Amino acid sequence: PAFTWEVRANDRNYHVQFKKKFAFCLTKKKYAGNAIKTAKYNIFTFLPLNLYEQFHRMANVYFVFVILLQTFPEISTLPWYTLLFPLSCLLTIRGLRDLIDDVGRHQSDRNINSRPCEILSGKSFRWQKWRDICVGDIVRLHKESFVPADMLLLCSSEPSSLCYVETADIDGETNLKFRQALLVTHQELVSEESLATFDGEVTCEEPNSRMHSFTGTLEWRGETYSLDSERILLRGCKLRNTDVCYGLVIYAGFDSKIMRNCGKIKRKKTKLDRMMDRLVIIIFLVLLVTSLCLAIASGFWARMFQEKHSYLSALYKNTTPAQQAFFNFWGFTILLSIIIPMSMYITFEFIYLVNSFFINWDLEMYYAVKDIPAKARSTSLNDQLGQIEYIFSDKTGTLTQNMMSFKKCCINGTIYGTGPGHENKQPSGSGLTWSHHGEKKLDFCDATLLEAAWRDSDPVLREFLRLLALCHTVMVEEKGDQLVYQAASPDEEALVLAARNLGYVFLARTRDTITISELGEKRTYKVLAMLDFNSDRKRMSVLVRDPQGTIRLYTKGADTVILERLQRRGPNETFTEMALERFAEETLRTLCLASKEVSEVEYSKWSRRHREASVLLQDRTRELDKLYEEMEQNLQLLGATAIEDKLQDGVPETIQLLKLGNIKVWVLTGDKQETAMNIGYACKLLTDDMEILEEKEISSAPTIPSSHSEILEAYWVSNNNLSGSGEVLCSSRLSQPCPEASCHKKRAVIVSGDFLDKILHMGEVLKEKKGWLWRRLACCRATGPQEPGSLVEKAFVDLATSCQAVICCRVTPKQKALIVQLVKKHKKAITLAIGDGANDVNMIKTADIGVGISGLEGMQAVQCSDYALAQFSYLQRLLLVHGRWAYLRICKFLRYFFYKTFAGLMAQIWFAFHSGFTAQPLYEGWFLALYNIFYTSYPVLSMGLLEQDVSAKKSLEFPELYVIGQQDELFNYRVFGITLLHGVSTSLASFYIALWAFEDGIGSKVVGDYESFAVTVATSALLSVLVEIILDTKFWTVLSFLMVTASLLLFCLFSFLTQSIDAFRIAPAVFRFPEASRNALTDPYILLVVLLSLVVNTVPSLTVRLYRTITGKNTIQQNIRLKARQEPEPSVELRAHVPHGSFHRRSSYAFSHQEGYAGLITRGDSLRTGDTRRAT
C-alpha cells in the first residue's frame, strides 16, 4: 500500500489544507472529522430522495400515468383529484414510516457523537465531545471507556505502557488483548507538558477496512520507528484494566477501520415486491394491447356502421372512424386501469403493519428477565420471513452467553462434578480459611472433590490443583480484601477461580516468582521459564522451583498434543482418554494437565541453550519451539478439565428445528477456529458423524493459484460428473472418483478470514492463469460470460452450500457482509443475518432480513436491524410461525385480490363486443368505485390479517411446512396465470349467462333493459367472488364472519342509496341508475339467473378440490397431518453420543487467549511496581 497518509501531532492547521476529489470537480477535506452520520436523509433531502425511492415501485409510476390521463376531459371517466388523494395517502404512509426509522438513526448518531472525551488543547486536557476530535489530536482515555477513533498508543499508566483492550464490539471476542506503546514515547512522554510539545509525524497507509493489519512509521527528533497493529487502538475497543492511556488520532470518523466495515443502508425489497413490480409491467402491457385491439375494432365497427346507416351521417360529420378509434383507445385504457387497484396497495400496507404488531405482541417472544419484547422495526418485510433459506449467525453473544464455567474434571482416574444437585457447601469441620478471597459463586459443585482437596492425601490431586494455580498468565489485583483476577481469556479465569474455590489461591506474581496459598499455607515458587502458548503448539508450560528447591514443569494444553508426550500409558491414562471423549460428547471445552520433575543437570543445560536462543536475530521462534519441544517430553498425566462455554437457552433445539425446515445455518465469528468448532458441536450444528472439511482439505496445495485451481477443479468436476447427485466431491483430490458411501456423507466446511480473502480477491491471479483447467472451464461457461474471480467465488459457494454446516472464523465485519453477498449473488437465495454487536452491523444491513439481539454488547446491531429479539431461540417462532403465516396471508391476499378484480371487471371487455366497441362502462360508476373499496375488500383483508393453515404449535411441530415459502409455491407466475384464468372464466360465466337470459327479454316485470342487465352481472360476479373466498378460508374467526356479512350489507346499503329516486332528482348525471337494483333483484326470474351463475362459477372450484382429495394430490399440510397420525415425531435429541467405532475422537481444547502474554510476564512489562504508576 502507498504510504500517503501523513499525520502531525498537535497540528490541526496542517491537516485542514489537504483536499480530495469525490465527485466530478468537487472536493472535500482529505482528513475526515470524527462525527459520524448513519442516517439516510436530512431536512432538505428527505422529500426528493424518498419520492425517488418510492417511484422505483412500478405501481406508483402506473398510478401517476392514469392520473395524467384523467386530466384530459375528452377521455376522463373520473375527476383526476379522486385518484390523486389515495395515491398521496399511500406515498405519505410509506414516507412517514421511512422518516420514523431515520429519526431513530439520527438519535443514535447524536448519542454517539456527543460522548465525552478529553482532548489536549494547548497545554492541558479539556473535556469535549467525540465529534470535536480531529486527526492529529492527542486524547486521554480512562478505564472502561470506549476508544473514540483509531489512535496510535503513546503511553499508559501501566508498566512499559501496556494497554489492555476488549474488542467485543469489533470481533465479538471478550478476552483481553494487549497493545504496547513504543519504548521511546513511553520513556519521553511522561507529563502533560511533554505531550503538548510532542511533534512526531506518522506516515502510514491510507484508510482501509483491514481490521487486523496496520503499517506505518513514526518520525520524531530525526529518528524513524516502525509501527504495526500492536501499537494501534481501534475505534470501538473498550479500555480494560488500564487506568489511563494517551493516544494520537490517526484515522477519525468514517476513515476509522470499524466505520469502513459498516456498509451502507440499503433499501430492502421482498421477493414478492419485486415480482409485483414485474407483474404490474406485464398487466399494463396486456391492458394496452387489449385497449389497442378493442380500439381498432371500434374503428372498423364505426366505418361499417356509417356505411350501413348513412341517414345518421349528421351525427358523424365531425369525427372520422380513426379519431373515434383513437379516443376509444384511451377510454378503454382508463376503464380497464382499475385492474391494478390502488386500494390493493393501501390494504397491503395495513396488513404488513398489523402483522408487525402480532410480532410485537407475541408473549412467547417476550424476555421477562430483562423486560424485552420482540420488535418488528421494519413493517414491510414480514412475508420474507417465511422464505429464508440461509441464516448467518454471529457466535459470541448471539449463540453463546460468553460466560465460561468450570464444570467437570478427571483426576487420577476419578471424574468429579458429575452428581446433579450437589450443594456448594464446605464439609463440616473443615476449617477452610480461603473462602474470603472468593467473590464469584462457582457453578462447579462437588463436595467429594472439596473433601479430597482438604484431606490433602492424594499427591496427584495436589499437583493438579497446584498446576491450575501456577500455570497461567492471569494478573491479580487486591481491592480491599478481595482479589480481582485480570485474565487474558475467560477460560484462564475459570480455571484459576476453580483452583481458588478448592483451596489453591493465586495471590501475587512478580517477574520471576509466583505466590499461591495452598489450603491456607502461603508458598512462593520461583518462575524459571514460561513456555508460551501459540496456536501451533496448542499448549503452555511453566518451569518453577518450589520452596523445597525441586524443579518442576507444569503443562496444560489440547489432549492431542499432551497425550503424545506422556512417559507411559497406563490404566489412568486410558480412563482419562475415555473421560475426555465423554466431556467432548457433552461439548465441554477440555484441557489435559501434566507435569514432570526436572533434574538440576538437565535444567542447567536447557537453560543455557534457552538463553542463547532468546537473543538470536534469525529463526528465534523456531529455535525456541524446538527447545520447548525438548523440555515437554516424558510428562506424567495429572488429569483433565472441562469448561462449559454457556450457550443461550434453547440454541441447539432452535438450530435443529431450523435444519428440519430446510434452513441452513452458517456461523460467522471473529473468534478462533477451535472455539468456533466447539460451539458448533455444542449447539448441534456439527455432529460427530460429519466429515469436517478444513482449508487444507479444500485446497491442499500451498501456493495461492493452485489452491484456487483445486476449488475450480472441484466446481468443474461437481458440475459435470456429478450433476445428478448435486453433491460436491469430498476431498482435496476432487477429480478422483470417490466411493458412493463417502459421496453421501454429511459434511461441514470450516474456513478462516484469510482463506476467504484469497477467494474474494482472486480475479487478478486467475486472469494470468491459462492452463488446461482454464480451457476446460471456458467450455463449461457457454451459458454466458463470467468473470474468472466470480467463478472461484461460485465454486466456493457451491461447495459450501452443498454442506450441512459452514463455520467461518477470524472474519472481519466486512468479510461477514461479503459472505452474505456471495450467497445472495450466486444462489439467488433469501438470507437472514443475526448478531448483537457493532461487528455484525454490516452483515445485518447486507442480508435480506437483519435481526439484532438486544444483548450485552450495546444496541448498534438493533439500531440497524429489521427485527429485534432478546434471544436466538425466538428465531424459531419468528420464522416458522410468524414468517410462514405472513407469507401465507400475503400470498392468499394477492391471489384473491387479483381474482376478484378480474372476475368483477373483465366483463367490461366482453360488453365491448356487444356495444359497438365503444368504451361505455357496463356497470354503474358507483359500483366500479365501490367494488374494490367496500364490496369485496373486507373478506380479503380478514384473510390477509388472520389466515392460518395450521396452529402455531403445529407449525413448530412440523417445521417441514416452511419449505412452501422457500419454493415460492403460494404465489408465482403459474399461480398468477391460474388466478387470471379463474377470474376470466368467472366474468365470462356471469356476463354470458345473464346475456343469454336477457335475450328472452322478459321476466314477470319489464326488466330487459341495460340497467337491469348491468345489476344482474354485477350481483352474479360479486356473489361468486364471496363464495370463492368463503371456500378457501381455512381459519374462521368472528372477524372473518363479520367481514363477509359486512360486504353483503354494504352492497345492499350503497345500492339503495346510490339508486334512490331522490338522489337521481338531485344529480341525474351522477346517479344514473334510479331504482335499477330494486326492479331487477325483486324479480324471481333474475334471482334464478344470479343463482345459476353462482352455481356455474362455484361447481368447478368444488370439483377441483374433490378431485385433489380423491386422487391423493394433497397439499404439504395434508401430507404432514397424515404423517403425524401414522408416526409420532421424535423429540429433539440434544445429547450427541459418539457412535461406537467412531472414526476419530475430536479434541475440543479450551484456549482462547492471545500469544505473547508469557513474554510480557517474564520481561516484567505487565507487572506494576509501586512507583511505575504514571501521574495523570
Reading the block at residue 239, the C-alpha cell is 479500555
CA distance 539 to 558: 6
Which residue(s) pair with 228 in the sheet?
A: none
CA distance 521 to 1144: 44
Contact 173, 271 (CB under 8 A): no
Identify the CA nearest to 936 among candidates 1026, 802, 852, 843: 1026
Reading the block at residue 818, the C-alpha cell is 461479503
SS3 letters across 373-409? CCEECCCCCHHHHHCCCEEEECCECCCEEEEEEEEEE
Reading the block at residue 103, the C-alpha cell is 429519526
CA distance 922 to 997: 17
Helix (H, G, I), strand (E, B) or coil at 420: coil
Beta pairing class for 805-809 and 664-668:
parallel
Identify the CA nearest to 1011 among candidates 932, 935, 924: 924
Distances (CA, A) of 806 to 181, 743, 759, 797, 874: 38, 18, 16, 11, 22
Residue 362: its H or E element: none
Q: In one letter, which amino acid is 159?
A: P
Q: Going by C-beta distance under 8 Å and a sequence separation of 6 or more, which residues neighbour residue 402? A: 168, 174, 396, 490, 645, 646, 856
Contact 1024, 903 (CB under 8 A): yes
Which letter, b or e, does each residue of 248-286 get, where b requires 16 or more Cβ atoms within 10 Å of its Cβ?
bbbbbbbbbbbbbbbbeeeebbbbbbebbeebbeebbee
CA distance 638 to 462: 10
Contact 916, 301 (CB under 8 A): yes
Contact 25, 243 (CB under 8 A): no
Q: Is 458 a catalytic residue?
A: no
DSSP 160: G
Contact 393, 875 (CB under 8 A): no
Q: Going by C-beta distance under 8 Å and a sequence separation of 6 or more, which residues neighbour residue 430? A: 450, 451, 454
CA distance 601 to 7: 55
First to last CA, the chain: 37
CA distance 989 to 581: 73
Identify the CA nearest to 897 among candidates 976, 965, 950: 976
- Given 102, 169, 394, 645, the catalytic residue: 394
Residue 245: its H or E element: strand 244-251
Beta pairing class for 201-204 and 216-220:
antiparallel
CA distance 754 to 237: 22
How many CA atoms are closer than 13 Å to the CA of 1040, on its beta-carbon side? 17
CA distance 1055 to 1075: 9
String of DSSP letters for 292-336:
HHHHHHHHHHHHHHHHHTGGGHHHHTT--HHHHHHHHHHHHHHHH
Contact 35, 131 (CB under 8 A): yes
Active site residues: 394
